[in-house]
């Protein structure tokens, strides 16, 4: 029986999955199959060839997918985000690390069975960094991929380790075996900044204060921001994040000098975000109620990232700076969404 070549997304019901499915189905070059603990939202379900409701930690389910489909590309999006992971570190390790390990093995087996490298896209995060203090954070400016990689969160540790696991599968897998087995997984990872979507609100993250503030204001709900006005981390509008994943997936392998790349678009403080939101939604009721512990996590993330390697190697070029993200993407789409 012939297996159908497909793109496979895990964590498909999450924030990135939503937009990525739309883009992959518009492109139409390969059918999309998806996996998530939850069924797909009815608005996107018709766009996928097959959805599996289940966990990346169920070996039989992955075996079944392996037997039915010829997977050429994996977007492994399933993860527990930073705030949630601090409450349940063991579960975070299971999902974020053991789940990723299961997916890397899955991709390795796929690559061995159809003989082509499986392009494996892995969203890492600015949480992989750990700035030692606010003074260093302020002085460091745009942080490079190999600096300050001492994360303070479980999620950050998980992401950093999985970047290394991916690099191992791509370059050194079973290096003592007589035949060369590495290279079957073509691992490519992006360290995402905080992401802001006009259509979905994230849950369980620590960069959530920005999207929460915007979506609350658009709905006329009061919002108490959990970080100080001067808190600063990089952000990106969701369409640019998905474009970046697709661009990196399509990049010629020989152009890639690294397996993990920073990307960024704008790096406003919470006060700057609040000012734009108040201008866009004049009735917005935004206050500040600092959660010292979540603030500590945001303080440990860099104020901005150096994404010159991504720009040089695979042409990263985000469309939305802070102003355009609000004026052309967030405000018009969010207004429409909440007007019903």
Please give the residue ranges that form the binding site for ligand AKB (CB under 6 A): 81-82, 125-127, 155, 192, 194, 205-207
Report the residue number, 126 or 237, with the smaller CB distance to ligand AKB: 126
How big is the CA angle at 18 (ends 36 and 165), to the nearest 5 degrees? Answer: 60
Q: Shortest distance, CB of residue 84 to ligand AKB, whole angstroms?
A: 8
CB under 8 A, 24+ apart: contacts of 37-43: 37/13, 38/13, 39/13, 40/12, 40/13, 41/13
Select from 208, 186, 210, 195 the least CA-distant residue to 244.
Answer: 195
Judged on CB neighbours under 10 Å (0-12, 13-18, 19+), 105 is: middle
Q: Shortest distance, CB of residue 116 to ligand AKB, whole angstroms?
A: 30
What lies within 8 Å, CB to CB, of 306 at 6+ separation is 142, 143, 144, 145, 262
Q: Shortest distance, CB of residue 2 to ligand AKB, whole angstroms?
A: 39
Number of C-beta neighbours around residue 219 at 10 A: 12
Q: Shortest distance, CB of residue 33 to ligand AKB, whole angstroms?
A: 25
Report the residue number, 192 or 329, with the smaller CB distance to ligand AKB: 192
Report the residue number, 52 or 266, with the smaller CB distance to ligand AKB: 266
Report the residue number, 173 or 266, with the smaller CB distance to ligand AKB: 266
Report the residue number, 81 or 103, with the smaller CB distance to ligand AKB: 81
Select from 310, 317, 188 the least CA-distant residue to 265.
Answer: 317
CA distances from 197 to 317, 330, 332 (A): 18, 7, 12
Number of C-beta neighbours around residue 41 at 10 A: 13
Percentage helix, strand, coil for the chain under 3-state DSSP, each rounded to 5: 45, 20, 35
Report the residue number, 111 or 202, with the smaller CB distance to ligand AKB: 202
Phi and psi at residue 265, to the nearest 5°: -140, -50
Report the residue number, 117 or 156, with the smaller CB distance to ligand AKB: 156
Select from 312, 186, 175 the least CA-distant residue to 259.
Answer: 186
Q: Shortest distance, CB of residue 194 to ligand AKB, whole angstroms?
A: 5
DSSP string, 292-313: HHHHHHHHHS-SEE--HHHHHH
Report the residue number, 62 or 267, with the smaller CB distance to ligand AKB: 267
Q: Shortest distance, CB of residue 83 to ligand AKB, whole angstroms?
A: 6
């Amino acid at each position: 029986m012939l297996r159908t070549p497909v793109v496979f997304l895990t964590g498909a019901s999450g924030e990135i999955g939503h937009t990525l499915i739309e883009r992959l189905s518009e492109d139409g070059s390969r059918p999309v199959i998806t996996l998530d603990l939850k069924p797909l939202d009815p608005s996107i379900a018709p766009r996928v060839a097959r959805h599996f409701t289940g966990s990346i930690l169920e070996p039989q389910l992955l075996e079944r997918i392996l037997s039915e489909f010829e997977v050429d590309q994996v977007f492994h999006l399933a993860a527990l985000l930073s705030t949630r992971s601090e409450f349940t570190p063991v579960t975070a390790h299971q999902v974020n690390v053991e789940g990723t390990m299961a997916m890397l093995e899955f991709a390795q087996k796929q690559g061995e069975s159809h003989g082509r490298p499986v392009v494996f896209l892995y969203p890492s995060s600015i949480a992989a960094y750990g700035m030692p203090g606010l003074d260093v954070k302020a002085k460091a400016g745009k942080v490079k991929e190999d600096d300050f990689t001492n994360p303070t969160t479980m999620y950050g540790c998980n992401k950093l380790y999985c970047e290394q696991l991916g690099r191992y599968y791509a370059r050194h897998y079973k290096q003592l075996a007589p035949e060369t087995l590495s290279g079957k997984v073509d691992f490519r990872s992006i360290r995402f900044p905080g992401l802001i979507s006009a259509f979905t609100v994230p849950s369980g993250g620590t960069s959530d204060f920005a999207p929460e503030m915007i979506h609350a204001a658009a709905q006329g709900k009061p919002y108490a921001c959990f970080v100080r006005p001067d808190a600063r981390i990089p952000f990106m509008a969701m369409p640019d994040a998905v474009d970046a994943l697709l661009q990196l997936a399509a990049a010629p392998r020989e152009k890639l000098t690294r397996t993990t790349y920073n990307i960024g678009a704008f790096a406003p403080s919470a006060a700057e975000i609040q000012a734009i939101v108040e201008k866009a939604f004049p009735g917005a009721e935004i206050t500040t109620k600092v959660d010292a512990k979540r603030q500590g996590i945001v303080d440990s993330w860099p104020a901005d990232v150096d994404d010159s390697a991504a720009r040089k190697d695979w042409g990263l070029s985000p469309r939305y700076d802070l102003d355009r993200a609000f004026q052309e993407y967030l405000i018009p789409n969010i207004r429409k969404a909440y007007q019903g």
